[in-house]
A = this chain, B = another copy of it.
Amino acid sequence: MPRIVTVAAAQLGPIARSDSRAMVVERLIAHLREAKRMGCDLVVFPELALTTFFPRWFMTDQAEIDSFFERRMPGPETQPLFDEARRLGLGFYLGYAELVEENGVVSHFNTAILVDRNGQIIGKYRKVHLPGHREHEPWRRFQHLEKRYFDLSDTGFPVWRAFGGILGMCICNDRRWPETYRVMGLQGAEMILLGYNTPVHNPPAPDHDALSLHHNTLVMQAGAYQNGSWVVGVAKAGSEEGVPMIAGTQIIAPSGMTVAATRGEGDELAVAACDLDACTTYKSTTFNFAAHRMPQHYGLITERKGAEPPP
Contacts and interface: CB of A to CB of B under 8 A. Distances in A.
A183 B204 CA distance: 25
A186 B255 contact: no
Contacts of A208: 255
A186 B289 contact: no
B214 A219 contact: no
Contact of A156 (B183, B297, B305): B297
A309 B187 contact: yes
Nearest to A217: B218
Given A219-B222, A295-B304, A205 B257 contact: no
A178 interface: yes
Contacts of A283: 307
A305 B176 CA distance: 22
Contacts of A288: 306
A206 B292 contact: no
20 contacts: A128-B297, A129-B294, A166-B310, A178-B222, A179-B182, A182-B298, A186-B300, A186-B306, A187-B300, A188-B310, A202-B285, A206-B255, A208-B255, A211-B255, A214-B256, A219-B225, A293-B305, A295-B304, A298-B301, A301-B301
